[in-house]
Amino acid sequence: MTMNSLVVVFSTKLIPFIYALVGFGLLITIHEFGHFIFCKVFKIHTPTFSIGMGPKIFERKIGQTNFRLSAIPIGGYVEIAGLSEVGQGEQGHANLKGEESFAKKPYWQKFFVLCGGVLFNLLFAYIVYSALFFVGIPKTSMRIFISEKKDFASLTKNFNMQPGDEIIAINNKALGTEGTSVILNIKKELVGPLKKGRETPISIQVKRNNETVDLSLDISNKENNLKLLQLLTPKTDVIPGKFEKYSFFKAIVKGIDATNNIIKQMVLAIIYLIKEKSLSGAGGPIMILSKTFETAQKGIIPLLLFLAFISINLAIINILPLGALDGGQLLFVSIEAIIRREIPAIIKNSINIASWIALISLILYLGYKDILNIFIK
């Protein structure tokens, strides 16, 4: 391999890979720092702060906390004295009952400690979007395609569509390319009627192999219509040389709006997955790392935007009321605050262990799907 080849590999593969790992680790650090900082504010002892899970690679004690880098880069934790959580360090201080114990603090302090990671993940997203709107965020165009997923093949045929078709007009109204207008037009012309179900077909134009094809969609079957919505795959392209740049306060407003929109989309996606009992649209840590690497190859700004998006996802997922997540621990302390006594440890531990088994199984399953999607298909 020549020197020039080594330089190309280093600049196009190694550096983006390092950026991806650092970015992924940054999100974990931000989340755990949210828990950590509230513990410090409320004077709760934190024996361990770990980035990563499993065996430790490096450890250094600062003050009363052991800061640790662990081998498995799929998460992290802050060990909190007086709080028993499966997989959160040695748990040597889990039963601490003194003044530095989580168990002795009032509910409102427990609330902020448990929600600290979620709050900091969202804060990161708000800051990134606002900052980029201030310095200049790349302008993008959005197009809507029909999904090429094999799971949707039969449904695609039912509507006389083909994978890769680009929707360019609905009811003779062009979608346009601006992201906001595309979303508004889809909601107005397609999503509303599809959810309601109606006898009158919808006319739709698609671009197929550089040709325009007119289709008529029968949307009288409400169940099929809801599945049809999953065929819509947005593709966002950066417009070279064009940027959106706003004044300081306007940029903050735009950043808040952008973040709030992603939060809404994420919540709706989770509701859909639960209702449909399907994981067809979900990705695991391998897919996330792969996408982070791909985005890092495009530059720092696209990487920051993607990390902000993933940070929002981490926040929403972590607040779900599952024993292995922050939301599950928050549910426990909320119930205890209402009934004014502790839930028996055996019940909490059993739920936590079951949740961890389910979570690890889900991660392994999604990881298997990621490998198939990335390396085999």
For the segment 137-178, what is each residue's pLDDT rounded down to a tens digit? 877 777 778 777 766 666 677 677 788 888 878 777 777 666
Instruction: Tell whether 231 and 325 lie within a shared domain.
Output: no
The answer as to whether 264 is a domain residue is no
Query: Can you spell out the DSSP letters for 274-341?
Result: HHHT--TT---HHHHHHHHHHHHTT-HHHHHHHHHHHHHHHHHHHTSS-TTSHHHHHHHHHHHHHHTS
Q: Residue 85 has which token pair?
A: 């959580």
Residue 264 has pLDDT above 60, yes or no: yes
User: What whole-number percentage of the chain has pLDDT above 90?
Assistant: 15
* Pair (166, 55) in one structural domain: no
Note the pTM of the prediction, 2 decimals.
Answer: 0.74
Last residue of a domain, one of 244, 267, 282: 244
What's the mean pLDDT when you consider all of the chain?
A: 77
* Residue 263 maps to a domain: no
Q: Does residue 270 lie within any of the structural domains?
A: no
Do 156 and 112 reside in the same domain of the chain?
A: no
Distances (CA, A) of 118 to 70, 115, 148, 215, 329: 22, 5, 34, 44, 13
Please tell me whether residues 235 and 159 are part of one structural domain.
yes
Is 55 domain-assigned?
yes
* Domain containing residue 178: 139-244
Most confident of 155-159, 209-213, 284-288, 298-302: 209-213
Residue 276 has pLDDT above 80, yes or no: no
Answer yes or no: do 122 and 165 share one domain.
no
Model confidence over 7-43: pLDDT tens digits? 444 445 566 666 667 777 788 889 999 999 999 999 9
pLDDT at 183 over 50: yes
CATH number where 213 lies: 2.30.42.10
Position 85 in a domain: yes
Residue 4 lies in a domain: no
Mutual orientation of helices 15-41 and 107-135 as an angle, nearest 10°? 140
What is the structure's pLDDT at 170?
78
Say if residue 106's pLDDT is above 80: yes
| Domain end residue (candidates: 196, 214, 244) | 244
- In this prediction, residue 17 carries a pLDDT of 66
Q: Is 98 within a domain?
A: yes
Cα 315 to Cα 8, 78, 303, 327, 365, distances in angstroms: 36, 16, 18, 10, 21
Of 119, 25, 50, 51, the residue nearest 316 (C-alpha):
119
In a domain, 114, yes or no: yes
What's the total number of domains in the chain?
2
Residue found by looking up tokens 């996408």 in the block:
291
Residue 367 has pLDDT above 80, yes or no: no
Q: Which element (helix H / strand E) includes 248?
A: helix 248-276
Give the residue with greater pLDDT, 89 vs 57: 57
pLDDT tens figures, 220-231: 766 666 667 777
Q: Which of 175, 143, 147, 172 is nearest to 161 (CA)?
A: 147
What backbone phi and psi angles, to 5 degrees, belong to 308?
-65, -40
120 and 47 both lie in a single domain:
yes
Number of H helices and E strands in the chain, helices first, is 12, 8
Residues 63 and 48 reside in one and the same domain: yes
Half-sphere exposure of 53 (CA within 13 A, CB side): 9
* Residue, of 252 and 8, whose pLDDT is higher: 252
- 128, 15: one domain: yes
Residues 125 and 145 in one domain: no
Looking at the fold, whether 125 and 176 belong to one and the same domain comes out as no
Q: Can you name the residues that pair with 173 across neighbouring β-strands?
A: 170
The span from the CA of 235 to the CA of 143, in Å, is: 5
Same domain, yes or no: 326 and 371: yes
Measured in Å, how far apart are the chain's first and last C-alpha atoms?
29
pLDDT at residue 35, rounded to an integer? 93
**Among 104-118, 157-171, 256-270, which stretch is predicted with the lowest mean pLDDT?**
157-171
Give residue 282's pLDDT band: very low, low, confident or very high (50, 70, 90).
low
* Angle at 28 (CA atoms; ends 22, 96), nearest 5 degrees: 140
Confidence of residue 117 (pLDDT cuts 50, 70, 90): very high
Same domain, 123 and 204: no
Asked which of 185, 211, 244 is the last residue of a domain, the reply is: 244
Give the mean model confidence (pLDDT) for residues 238-257. Answer: 86
Residue 136 has what DSSP assignment? -
Give the best-scoring range by mean pLDDT among 33-37, 66-70, 300-304: 33-37
Residue carrying the six token digits 């045929």: 157
**Confidence (pLDDT) at 111:** 94
